[in-house]
Amino acid sequence: MSVEKFELYLKELRSVVKKKGLKYSLQREQILKALFDSSCHLTPEEVHQKVKIINPSIGLATVYRTLSLLEKENLVTSISFGSEGKKYELNRGEHHDHMICIKCGKIIEFFKEELERLQERIAKDNGFKLLSHQLNMYGICKECQREFND
């Protein structure tokens, strides 16, 4: 939650913007901040609601445009499952996979080196140049299992 940490993302944003000959804007900063402050995945609508608190005049279209830009530039990543739309989170540099509880919707993030290596091996065996992956494991979380047993 340190101030310095967010400054790193701002710096990255400034560099992306400069690199592409774009312009820096408060809205882009605010959207990035909303993702930084959230520990979970947000829909564009949710991002919009959050930013509106500090900037009531921001438009939903700006949120969509900015999220697309940030995703293209790899500052944020997105996930989508079921019939729900895309959800975004800040790319904090550490890749992770997801366990998704089908009862309560909770998303548990995890990382397993072994899993990463195995995938690289599978790709290699198939002559496939692996760039990224997304693994979603669906099931029932600890808490919901308990609830179900009561």
Which residues contact DNA by CB under 7 A? 17, 21-28, 43-45, 55, 57-62, 64-66, 68, 83, 85-86
Q: How far is CA 80 from the centre of its chain?
A: 10
Of the candidates 20, 64, 28, the residue with the CA atom closest to the CA atom of residue 45 = 64
**With CB under 8 A as the contact rule, which of the stretches 22-30, 34-42, 56-64, 79-87 interacts with a copy of itself?**
79-87
Q: List the one residue from 4, 132, 149, 150 that touches a copy of itself (CB under 8 A).
A: 132
CA distance 143 to 62: 38
* Tokens standing for residue 117: 């290596």
**With CB under 8 A as the contact rule, which of the stretches 11-19, 33-41, 48-56, 81-89 interacts with a copy of itself?**
81-89
Asked whether the beta carbons of 123 and 129 are under 8 A apart, the reply is yes
- Which residues contact a copy of itself by CB under 8 A? 80-81, 83, 86, 99, 101-102, 108, 110, 112, 114-115, 118-119, 122-123, 126-142, 145
